[in-house]
Amino acid sequence: MRVPRCLVLASASPRRLELVRGAGLDPRVVAPRIDETARAGEPPDLRVSRLAREKAQAVADDLVTRIPCAVVLAADTEVVLDGLALGKPRDPADAAAMLRALRGRGHDVLTGVHVLRLDEPRSASSVTLTHVRFRSYDDAVLRAYVASGEPLDKAGAYGIQGLGAELVESVDGSWTNVVGLPVEQLPEWLDRIGIRLADLRPDP
């Protein structure tokens, strides 16, 4: 007998929601409430892994008695240049500074993911790295992109799925990872916690 399950996306990101829906799922969205302040000396890969885990656990703790068969999916993404995480820009000037630093260079995009099921103590974690190289765009392109407003809520001040695609020269690795969730790995994560992707799809 099929156990009815619910996927909970522990993220307020519309981009992650779109990616998950593209996999044929209709998740419940719950924005996690955690302190995302970076810890001194914490490497970017450990930071995204920790924050994904803390986001998933915060949402799981809230839902465990109400939706005991839920599966919680959480992620955290950073753009890393020269070993340093850029974070999200504070304002347009900060976004422009990030985009100048990235121009004509390669950088890494790291996404930490944590998946857990509430009816058993089983979870899966991963960190995916994609290398992105930017074109040597001129200041006019940079200013126009900043003026669009798109960079302001995005790690590294760009969205590859939007107008920011114009800045990109090449992508080595998962494109969806750069968007915010390497969704092609979803079946593997679920398999590691004993759940099939089909178990989370809504009935036709």
- Domains of the chain and CATH, by start: 6-200 (3.90.950.10)
The pLDDT of residue 203 is 65
Q: Which residue blocks in the chain are alpha helix, DSSP H?
A: 14-22, 44-63, 92-102, 139-147, 175-179, 186-192, 197-200
Q: How confident is the model at residue 3 (pLDDT cuts 50, 70, 90)?
A: low
The pLDDT of residue 39 is 84
The pLDDT of residue 64 is 66
Overall average pLDDT of the 1-12 stretch: 77
Q: How confident is the model at residue 36 (pLDDT cuts 50, 70, 90)?
A: confident
Q: How confident is the model at residue 136 (pLDDT cuts 50, 70, 90)?
A: very high
The pLDDT of residue 202 is 73
| pLDDT tens digits, one per residue of 47-63 | 999 999 999 999 998 88
Could you give the CA distance from residue 158 to residue 200 in angstroms, rounded to a whole number?
A: 31
| pLDDT tens digits, one per residue of 167-198 | 999 999 999 999 999 999 999 999 999 999 98
Quote the mean pLDDT of the chain. Answer: 92
Active site residue 76: yes
The pLDDT of residue 1 is 40
Task: Choose, from 45, 61, 76, 153, the residue flagged as catalytic.
Answer: 76
Q: Among the listed ranges 65-69, 71-75, 82-86, 90-94, which one has the minimum average pLDDT value?
A: 65-69
Q: What is the C-alpha radius of gyration for the chain, rounded to an integer number of angstroms? A: 18
pLDDT higher than threshold 50 for residue 200? yes
pLDDT higher than threshold 60 for residue 4? no
Neighbours of 54 (CB within 10 A): 18
The pLDDT of residue 68 is 73
The pLDDT of residue 199 is 86
pTM of the model: 0.91
Q: How confident is the model at residue 92 (pLDDT cuts 50, 70, 90)?
A: very high
